[in-house]
Amino acid sequence: MPKITREEVRVPADVMPEARDEYITNYLKATRETGRLMLFACDQKIEHLNKDFYGEGIDIADLDPEHLFKIGSEGVCGVLAGQRGLVAQYAADYPEINYLIKMNSKTNLVGTKQEDPYSPQLYDLDAVLAMKEAGVNIVGLGYTIYLGSEYEATMMAEAGELIAQAHANGLIVVLWIYPRGKAVTAEKDPDLIAGAAGVALCLGADFVKVNPPKPEDGRTPAEALKVASTAAGRCGLVCAGGSTVDAETFLTQLYDQIHVGGADGNATGRNIHQRSLDEAVRLTKAISAITLADWAVADALAVFNGEKDFTLADI
């Protein structure tokens, strides 16, 4: 897969002229100069609490939060996404990682049957820009919207303002958009997933993270995803990785999402960090081989199995 040049980066019109070079640099960093995003999602310590990091089937290394940063450092990722405080505690020891700051989060303790979901903004952009000014390698922001929640208007307004401010300062933005709430009867309905992609585009996001659709009309999930990736227009669509599955299944799904579904990368958390350090590092390399270099599933699986290696030099 050929790399893209600075001249080939499509810069949104809300990026101020003085921030244009910074935006291009951050976009190329995040996508490893390919235009595709390999996002290592590390925001689950709030989102899912400790059950994603300790328990049956989870390597004991995952209990230590530094495990995330060791993976990000030794593996091959585009960005590591986490909350500001998490990044602030470890970034000085891992300055080489590209960071994407997750601007809002909520726990999973309050279920949808009790109340529609709302993920509050945890800090303003100035706090993030101060960290960047202090030398943290921050390339972008992330924000979650629960489409269909009675609080969606608040989240959309917060996201829209953040995107405008982020672009004005040369940062990229990834929106997590999940249809969820009492008004939503099927969270992975293909039409809703495509709708979420269109919302992200209209809010001005550079990438949108969605759940893979579950069609009921005979199409494969990847075929249904093609509708969403087309609806996203110039906003790159990436799929959430979901709960941990075997590597071959995961890599095959990823390949189909990109080559059948038109996805522009992936956003994976548990499938990576719930493994031992060595295995997690190999999986980031296998994922990146497919996402960033268009390797076949068999070759990527060989990377995961330790029979081949993949580095940034292979892009």
Active-site residue set: 178, 209
The torsion angles phi and psi of 175, rounded to 5 degrees, stand at -100, 130
Distance CA 292, CA 22 (A): 22
Give CA 32 to chain center in angstroms. 14
Query: Which residue in the block uniquely carries the two structure tokens 């999940």?
Result: 178
Instruction: Calculate the alpha carbon distances from 196 to 89, 120, 233, 235 in Å.
Output: 33, 19, 12, 11
The number of helix segments (H) and strand segments (E) in the chain equals 12, 8
d(CA 241, CA 250): 8
What length does the chain have? 315
Cα(222)–Cα(257) distance, rounded to whole angstroms?
5
CA distance 61 to 255: 28
Question: How far, in Å, CA of 178 to CA of 9, rounded?
Answer: 27
Strand partners, 83: 102
Classify residue 216 by its DSSP letter: S
Distance CA(55)–CA(62), nearest Å, equals 10
Residues ≥6 apart with Cβ < 8 Å to 196: 147, 177, 178, 179, 208, 210, 228
Name residue 147's beta-bridge partners: 179
Q: Which amino acid type is present at position 264? A: D
